[in-house]
Structure 1
Amino acid sequence: MTTTKAQQADPGTRPVLSVSNLTTSFLVDGEWRQVVRNISFDIMPGETVAIVGESGSGKSVTSLSIMRLLAKASSRIEGTVKLNGRDILPLSEGEMRDVRGKDIAMIFQEPMTSLNPIFTIGRQISEALTCHGDISKAESRAETIRLLEKVRIPNASSRFDEYPHQFSGGMRQRVMIAMALASRPKLLIADEPTTALDVTIQGQILDLIKVLQEEEGMSVLFITHDMGVVAEISDRTIVMYRGEAVETGKTDDIFHRGRHPYTRALLSAVPKLGSMKEQPRPLRFPIVDIGTGERKEPTALADAIDYAKPPVLEVKNLVTRFDLRGGLFARPTGAIHAVENVSFNLAQGETLSLVGESGCGKSTTGRSIMRLVNPKSGDVHLDGYDVMKLNTGDLRRMRRSIQMIFQDPFASLNPRMTIGSTVAEPFIEHRLGSRSQAREKAVDLLERVGLNADMMSRYPHEFSGGQRQRICIARALALDPKVIVADESVSALDVSIKAQVCNLLMDLQQNLNLSFLFISHDMAVVERVSHRVAVMYLGEIVEIGPRASVFENPQHSYTKKLMAAVPVPDPARRGIKRNLSVDELKSPVRPVGYKPPVRQYREVSSGHLVRIDAA
């Protein structure tokens, strides 16, 4: 394990950042309400400190308070924030502008909203250089290209004049890091910089921050809710809960000797890759009561899957492509091969997980099966329906057998409808009974997903993210489906809420004999909830088989890459670099007339198939 500069420093070393009794309040309905209370911590030269907690705990407000980026009219910051011994809270806005970027820089969670879409990448990084120094245009271009190379962007000089939309999510985040590093700040604040990224891109960004920290001698304040990321990158950890720091200490102590019930609850909810060895069936997550610290041990699903019975869903040679058109007459210029020759079965009561990075075709596969997008060819048989041959009326009836839970629950709920009406609507629309029966059904479903009947008159904005996802699950169950497509349904949730929702899905599967097509890029969650796993890359399944076979004996190089990138919640791994390739995911766009190669698969063990790639 590497030793940080903070650990090597003598006891008299002055902190780069010293925060004392930081309290932040917001003006709400004419009253000042405290959202962060009496936070104190120091960050030493070369040290990484992580602030961890769930949404609403006050992590991001703490970082924005340090940077003085909150609106003056509606916020109030008290306490002291000393940067290199200088209190920056009393500084004027002009003085603070000199501090930002030069002495302290910040990387935000969503790079696309942080980059200006109308300016080139090169111009935006160059601006960060010219604002804080007397530098010529030629010098700023050379330095910008050096920074792009430093953050491992391939062909940096040729990409100088490209725009943000021409970069992938991971590459945009690298651009944000390059911009933050432009003036060589002593402190880098990284606010959830990997949350929205695929697991392999996340691994690359974590590696990059470690390398740059060593090269530049920066201190890092890393804000996240991912305990695996915390374990891999931080020297010390601050655990926040409802605006307060409930526990602070060395990361190793927090993970192995955490005292606060909330700390233990967060750690219990973290799925650890490899923890399912010798577990033949999906395993629920352990849950710790935050008030008492009492731990409820996980249990496995009781029933084995009977694969001798006919499958509830059969997909054979499914192909979905989206035409690209251009020119004066909008002629076809190519096609996005989103799903290419995908085949699998789903048994009654089984969870089959589709995993892979963004753009690999997972979600399009789920939507194609439901005919939310129209496939180009293939066969889909669901609960007695030949899905590809259904007319509009039959398609509507078929969808009673298959429902979808979407990734963003807020976007998939009508903000003008109460949740009672939302859950009852499918029952009424399909004319399965009277309005009073629909209400009774909605009450039963809300109670099944852990919500109360007296919440039926509330609106979506009155619920937390986890509760909204429970509402979406209740709505999906309204038609008594046999198959549920869970499309990244837990990806946006905090770690403890994610554990609760996964447990809920497994309980419903046990009680209602549901089948799940579980679409995700979170390999550790997939290992816990799945019976079988299919790995997708560029629209094709490259490996499929029983969960134990795929995770304990991965064969395809892409499967191995996905697993190697998963952050492991073990502080002993801090300082380890994965040395992942920084290549972007290849494009699924193909020219007109392109014929994909015929794929061959080899059987590694019973039901475990791996695509044979050309040497």
Structure 2
Amino acid sequence: MTPILSVQDLTVAFRVERAWRPVVHGVSFEIGPRETVALVGESGSGKSVTALSIMRLTPRDSSRIGGRVLLEGRDLLGLPEPAMRRIRGDDVAMIFQEPMTSLNPVLTVGFQIAEALMLHRGLSRAAAEAETVRLFDKVRIPGAASRVHDYPHRFSGGMRQRVMIAMALACRPKLLIADEPTTALDVTIQAQILDLIKLLQDEEDMSVLFITHDMGVVAEIADRTVVMVDGRAVESGPTDDIFRRPTHPYSRALLAAVPRLGSMRGRPHPTRFPIVDRVTGEPEVVPDMPDTVAPEGRPVLEVRDLTTRFEIRGGLLSRVRGRVHAVENVSFSLRAGETLALVGESGCGKSTTGRSVLRLIEPLSGSVLLDGEDILALAPADLRERRRRMQMIFQDPFASLDPRMSVGAAIAEPLLINRLASRREAGDRAADLLRRVGLKPEMAGRYPHEFSGGQRQRICIARALAVEPRLIVADESVSALDVSVKAQVVNLMLDLQASLGLAYLFISHDMAVVERVSHRVAVMYLGEIVEIGPRAAIFGAPQHPYTRKLLAAVPVPDPGRRRQMHAVRSDEIKSPIRPVGYVPPERLYREVSPGHAVQVWGPEWEAAVPAAAA
């Protein structure tokens, strides 16, 4: 059978300071009709550059592409630019990781798709608009006829990615290249997008090149897999073979770091990820973690009836038109040495809860007790002093660090501001903290751009530890990291908790990671906690339909389930915006087992998850 795409000995080099630097070294693979091939590797492995080179989208003046890229026998690298422009979007289409940067913010999404239809398929304006509505229906965008006239900012992340898929399918391409299309999405939205790509592939007889670093996603979607590291393809073959019998040490290291739902069954305490040496392939012995939770005494953090709302103003006099009920009557406690995970989709209020606890956002009402002292009642000067005991690790470490400040100075800064050390002592302490988080003390003089994403997150952890806090709020602190780097950072956090007795409020939408690191779990939906309890109870016997929906959407790293669809409805999370004067209904909770409470739900939740998934 003739392959749709044949990549033969592909090489790519970029001009760096008047010299050519090779970044892809002799990569070869084929994609057959209706086949999905996954290109897998960590950031910097060369997988996205490989995809851009196939499309000839690398900068013309500063890049060199060698080898052959045959599309049904036609070498794309030898085509003139006008011919290549006709192929892009027509025969080969591409979906990028961040749809908001791929869509023009000043044009409606319907116009942007219609433009491609008029250019490539020669349709009239009316016919192109009608086809756009059909495409929106095809990718399951609710209210397609009315939404084609909306601008990109009016869509959620998952719906924007659906728009990009509709645009890619507009000209019925033979090959779809999907470059990390689900990395930035919540687990439920990711499940919907993966199901959509599988469905459309069958309907359109399309081949797919799927680029990702998530081995769980690879197992769900790929027929064959190519593993890349340092610009080289080190292993390729059927996905089943690579998962069951990986031959290269790097492949074994990637698979060992994949968080697997259910792997903590029977383990009473959080456990470090197993790490496999990427050179030798030898696994690290994973010791059982000690019980770090303080058995008695007052909790470090006690949150009661926390409520945070944001006013929406409009009109000539900027009157209040409505309010965003971001956090509504949330209560929980956290002991020293304990990790409580807050989980839920984007917009559920979990990050706002974390920021409200630290008073980075001012709550409307409730109480936040840190070691028995109400943080919400403190004056600004007193609050500044108490913040030494509670720190935050943010999702994007690069945005959290001053690019003009060396990392040593960034770590020492909290010590100097709080007058906890002299300049020399702060420098020594910064070097010691770098060593503690697995970096070298001599790295203190470098700047943030000189580190990888995982190293930058370690630096942010070191900075948070500088003032010896009792509580750390980790807001999606590992969600943007590659799978093996994520495992290393999680292991570091667990080691620090065991040695320092830290209390973690771990905010995440990654249920497999949450299962490994948490003692207790609180599930949030529309600003409210709908279920809270011990980790084993939440994952072993989930009660609320929304909890079951989250768990049903988690990718399972088992290629045998590749053609199975997720039991997840394709609806969006509801809006938390309420009219002025809205009074939230009183919520009732029932205790189903010791420490495991679930919110009593109404008939609107009955069809949230099919019975088979429950």
TM-score, with length taken from structure 2? 0.97
5 Å matches for 1:65-84? Answer: 65-84=53-72
* 1:568 corresponds to: 556
1:139 to 127, 133, 141: 127
Secondary structure of 1:190's counterpart equals strand
Separation (CA, whole Å) in 2 of partners of 1:419 and 1:276: 36
Residues 1:369 and 2:361 aligned together: no
2:272 to 278, 284, 295: 284
1:248 to 236, 247, 253: 236
**Residue pair 1:51, 1:223 contacting (<8 A) in 2 also:** yes
* 2:77 corresponds to: 89
5 Å matches for 1:450-599? Answer: 450-599=438-587
Separation (CA, whole Å) in 2 of partners of 1:81 and 1:204: 31
2:149 to 161, 164, 178: 161
5 Å matches for 1:305-454? Answer: 305-454=293-442
**Residue pair 1:283, 1:528 contacting (<8 A) in 2 also:** yes
Unaligned ranges ≥5, structure 2: 604-614
Deviations 1:80-116 (Å, cap 9, x if unpaired)? Answer: 0000110010111111111011100000000000011
Secondary structure of 1:399's counterpart equals helix
Deviations 1:15-39 (Å, cap 9, x if unpaired)? Answer: 0000000000000010111100101
Deviations 1:120-151 (Å, cap 9, x if unpaired)? Answer: 11111111111112212221111111110000
Separation (CA, whole Å) in 2 of partners of 1:298 and 1:548: 20
* 1:10 corresponds to: none
**Residue pair 1:16, 1:186 contacting (<8 A) in 2 also:** yes
The Cα shift of 1:300 comes to 2.9
Deviations 1:405-428 (Å, cap 9, x if unpaired)? Answer: 000000000111111111111011
- One-letter identity of the residue aligned with 1:78: G
Separation (CA, whole Å) in 2 of partners of 1:238 and 1:42: 10
Separation (CA, whole Å) in 1 of partners of 2:453 and 2:567: 35
Separation (CA, whole Å) in 1 of partners of 2:134 and 2:396: 38
Separation (CA, whole Å) in 2 of partners of 1:534 and 1:404: 19
Separation (CA, whole Å) in 1 of partners of 2:78 and 2:602: 64
Identity across matched positions, percent: 67
Separation (CA, whole Å) in 1 of partners of 2:89 and 2:602: 48
Secondary structure of 1:526's counterpart equals helix
The Cα shift of 1:385 comes to 2.2
The Cα shift of 1:371 comes to 0.5
Q: 340-349 or 305-314, which moves further after superposition?
A: 305-314
- One-letter identity of the residue aligned with 1:53: G
* 2:158 corresponds to: 170
**Residue pair 2:553, 2:567 contacting (<8 A) in 1 also:** no
* 1:47 corresponds to: 35
Separation (CA, whole Å) in 1 of partners of 2:123 and 2:477: 48
1:207 to 191, 195, 219: 195
**Residue pair 1:420, 1:456 contacting (<8 A) in 2 also:** yes
Secondary structure of 1:24's counterpart equals strand
- One-letter identity of the residue aligned with 1:271: P
* 1:99 corresponds to: 87
**Residue pair 1:385, 1:398 contacting (<8 A) in 2 also:** no
Secondary structure of 1:295's counterpart equals coil
- One-letter identity of the residue aligned with 2:358: M
Secondary structure of 1:38's counterpart equals strand
The Cα shift of 1:579 comes to 4.2
- One-letter identity of the residue aligned with 1:52: V
**Residue pair 2:292, 2:498 contacting (<8 A) in 1 also:** no
The Cα shift of 1:308 comes to 3.1
Separation (CA, whole Å) in 2 of partners of 1:27 and 1:614: 61
**Residue pair 2:398, 2:456 contacting (<8 A) in 1 also:** yes
Separation (CA, whole Å) in 1 of partners of 2:56 and 2:186: 30
- One-letter identity of the residue aligned with 2:185: L
* 2:291 corresponds to: 303
1:28 to 7, 16, 20: 16
Separation (CA, whole Å) in 2 of partners of 1:225 and 1:252: 17
Deviations 1:48-101 (Å, cap 9, x if unpaired)? Answer: 000000000000000000000011000000000000110010111111111011
- How many pairs are equivalent? 603
- One-letter identity of the residue aligned with 2:334: L
Separation (CA, whole Å) in 2 of partners of 1:532 and 1:301: 16
* 2:608 corresponds to: none
Separation (CA, whole Å) in 2 of partners of 1:96 and 1:177: 21
- One-letter identity of the residue aligned with 2:569: S
**Residue pair 1:268, 1:286 contacting (<8 A) in 2 also:** yes
The Cα shift of 1:201 comes to 0.3
Deviations 1:280-310 (Å, cap 9, x if unpaired)? Answer: 0001000011121111032332125244321
- One-letter identity of the residue aligned with 2:486: K
Q: 261-270 or 300-309, which moves further after superposition?
A: 300-309
Note the aligned Cα RMSD (angstroms): 0.8
The Cα shift of 1:353 comes to 0.3
Residues 1:193 and 2:181 aligned together: yes
Secondary structure of 2:316's counterpart equals coil
Which aligned segments of 4 or more residues in structure 1 are displaced greater than 3 angstroms? none
Separation (CA, whole Å) in 1 of partners of 2:150 and 2:159: 12
- One-letter identity of the residue aligned with 1:527: E
- One-letter identity of the residue aligned with 1:355: V
Unaligned ranges ≥5, structure 1: 1-12
Separation (CA, whole Å) in 2 of partners of 1:548 and 1:309: 24
Deviations 1:414-452 (Å, cap 9, x if unpaired)? Answer: 111111111111011100121121112111111100011
* 1:149 corresponds to: 137
Separation (CA, whole Å) in 2 of partners of 1:586 and 1:299: 43
Separation (CA, whole Å) in 2 of partners of 1:133 and 1:439: 64
Separation (CA, whole Å) in 1 of partners of 2:282 and 2:434: 26
- One-letter identity of the residue aligned with 2:533: G
* 1:9 corresponds to: none
* 1:7 corresponds to: none
Deviations 1:211-262 (Å, cap 9, x if unpaired)? Answer: 0001111000000000000000000000000000000010000001001110
Separation (CA, whole Å) in 2 of partners of 1:329 and 1:109: 40
**Residue pair 1:236, 1:250 contacting (<8 A) in 2 also:** yes
Q: 283-292 or 229-238, which moves further after superposition?
A: 283-292
- One-letter identity of the residue aligned with 2:178: A
Separation (CA, whole Å) in 2 of partners of 1:588 and 1:451: 42
Secondary structure of 2:400's counterpart equals coil
Q: 127-136 or 300-309, which moves further after superposition?
A: 300-309
**Residue pair 1:383, 1:401 contacting (<8 A) in 2 also:** no
